Amino acid sequence: MIEYCIYKGKVYKVTINGDLLNLTSYDVNDKQTNGFKDYVDVLGRHHMDIFIKELAISDADLVYRKTVYAIYKGKEFETYGVDSSTLEKNYILLFSMDYEDVYDYGFLKHEQFVYQKEVLLNDIDALVEIKKPILKWENQPELRKTIPTNMIGAYLSQI
């Protein structure tokens, strides 16, 4: 699950720090147009390709948590680590807490009450992207977007 903020019509990765949001951008134009600053790491090194901005929650348009589920053999499963590198690996790691999935879908025990399975991208029926509003927007409905099999590659290349 990764959290995002929509600010001035643009989507940013965000970390929440009390009543403040820390936005991250990789777009140099955000320095001029949206007041972002160069990121300075804990060792004092300036990063000219990462930009940050501290923002009051009240100034954000929306903050949400994004999760991606996979539909495999008709059942929706939790995923782990779905990002652009998933395309290179060519598989998605699925998780379940249902012991029956060991028998029904070939999951293996990962730890107590947790089962997992690596599934090739071609064997995934669809991905489901869920954007769940959080903070002061938590009462708004979540948005679900289904990515069919033939669009999974394009979707993964953009996240």
List all residues 6 or more positions away from 133 whose beta carbon is below 8 Å from its beta carbon.
62, 63, 64, 139, 140, 141, 142
Cα separation of 93 and 77, whole Å? 10
Residue 95: per-residue pLDDT: 94
pLDDT for 29-49, tens place per residue?
Answer: 999 899 999 999 999 999 999
Residue 1 has pLDDT above 80, yes or no: no
Report which secondary-structure segment, H or E, holds 98.
Answer: none
Per the document, the length of the chain is 159
Cα-Cα-Cα-Cα torsion 5, 7, 11, 16, nearest 10 degrees, comes to: -20
Residue 159: per-residue pLDDT: 83
